[in-house]
């Protein structure tokens, strides 16, 4: 069994690849630092759920490595799964009929189960032990899935579209519990979500994935500072779309709007081709996401 005394990464993916009939994931690198709330964002079909499924053992990768706190996802499968909690709207708990029966079954596998915390979560989420699982709403099933993992406080929590079906109040309670989990600096969370405003508010790291490839990854403040939108005019053909670090967003005759990667010399390259700057502005996460993945 392989492990590290104090791994810097809660989740480390290197060179991950998986091929389906119509989709290829990777090669993908992804790093979730210990103590981080990491938002994995991308359009439908980008590979977010496939990546999470491979981490929790729902399928085998074709190549690459996955490590959770230093444990290899194949060689140390049992130890890895002890350290991972998984929440998804696709989880099916109907076989246990009631909320209480399901909790009694799950908690028996975890000696560290916090019974008081579990009862507190049931009360906060307004879940009754004798409630029939088949009659729960989508949002209530999501709350139930979270109640099944938080009382054992897994070092790594994987959340696949966890806010589907949650109203504004429930969403606030949901993220309050997530932030409570990571406040000690030893627990980490990866959230795959289309709720970009939530990711921008609560995540401190992000990964933007598109067509199975990682477009950008890192601390959210650094990524947001790295990109900007620039509007300019150019009377001649400036070839903006051909400049490294420059992505053409819109053009109307001599007026251009481009996404600039400020870690490159793209802005200087545009100026050297005769561009007259009109305005440079920062982006929200949603604006950056659309600019990066827009065809």
Residue 1, domain member (yes or no): no
User: Each residue of 134-167: pLDDT tens digit?
Assistant: 998 888 888 899 999 999 999 999 999 888 878 8
Summarised one tens digit per residue, pLDDT across range 10-24 is 999 999 999 998 899
Structure tokens at 106: 């799950």
Average pLDDT on 122-130 reads 92
Kindly state whether residues 172 and 230 are assigned to the same domain. Answer: no
The pLDDT tens digits of the residues spanning 193-216 come to: 888 888 988 999 999 999 999 999
Instruction: Say yes or no: 178 and 39 in one domain.
Output: yes
Q: Which has the higher per-residue pLDDT, 79 or 2?
A: 79
Residue 52 pLDDT grade (very low, low, confident, very high; cuts 50, 70, 90): very high
84 with 200, same domain? yes
**Which CATH number does the domain housing residue 119 bear?**
3.40.50.300
198 in the same domain as 156:
yes
Any bridge partners for residue 217, and if so which? 207
Its domain, for residue 260, covers 223-293
Supply the CATH number for residue 275's domain.
3.30.70.1150
Q: Specify whether 230 is located in the same domain as 119.
A: no
Do 201 and 243 have their domain in common? Answer: no
Q: Is the dihedral of CA 50, 53, 54, 58 positive or negative?
A: negative
| Domain match, 178 and 248 both | no
Residues 182 and 239 in one domain: no
Look up residue 275 and give its two tokens.
């561009």
Nearest to 23 by CA among 212, 267, 151: 212
The long-range contacts involving 116-124, CB below 8 angstroms and separated by at least 24 positions, are: 117/150, 117/151, 118/147, 118/150, 118/151, 121/146, 121/147, 121/150, 121/151, 121/177, 122/147, 124/173, 124/177
Residue 90 domain-assigned (yes or no):
yes
Average pLDDT over residues 53-65: 90
Total number of domains in the chain:
2
254, part of any domain: yes
pLDDT surpasses 70 at 239: yes
pLDDT score of 184 more than 80: yes
Chain mean pLDDT for the chain: 89
């Amino acid at each position: 069994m392989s492990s590290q005394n104090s791994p810097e990464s809660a989740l480390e993916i290197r060179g991950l690849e998986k091929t389906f009939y119509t989709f290829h994931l990777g090669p993908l690198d992804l790093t979730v630092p210990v103590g981080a709330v990491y938002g994995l964002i991308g359009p439908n079909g980008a590979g977010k759920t496939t990546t999470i499924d491979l981490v929790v053992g729902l399928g085998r990768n074709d190549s690459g490595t996955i490590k959770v706190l230093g444990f290899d996802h194949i060689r140390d499968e049992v130890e890895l799964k002890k350290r991972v909690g998984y929440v998804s709207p696709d989880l099916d708990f109907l076989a246990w009929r009631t909320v209480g029966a399901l909790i009694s079954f799950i908690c028996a596998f975890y000696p560290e189960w916090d019974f008081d915390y579990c009862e507190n979560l049931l009360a906060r989420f307004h879940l009754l032990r004798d409630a029939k699982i088949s009659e729960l709403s989508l949002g209530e099933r999501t709350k139930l899935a979270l109640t099944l993992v938080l009382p054992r406080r897994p070092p790594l929590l994987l959340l696949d579209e966890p806010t589907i079906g949650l109203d504004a109040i429930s969403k606030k309670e949901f993220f309050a519990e997530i932030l409570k989990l990571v406040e000690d600096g030893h627990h980490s969370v990866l959230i795959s979500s289309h709720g970009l405003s939530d990711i921008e508010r609560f995540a401190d790291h992000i990964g933007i994935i598109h067509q199975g490839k990682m477009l950008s990854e890192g601390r959210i403040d650094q990524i947001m500072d790295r990109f900007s939108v620039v509007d300019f005019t150019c009377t001649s053909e400036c070839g903006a779309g051909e400049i490294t670090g420059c992505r053409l967003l819109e053009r109307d005759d001599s007026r251009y709007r481009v996404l600039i990667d400020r870690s490159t010399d793209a802005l200087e390259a545009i100026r050297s081709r005769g561009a007259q700057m009109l305005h440079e502005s920062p982006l929200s996460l949603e604006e950056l996401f659309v600019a990066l993945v827009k065809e």
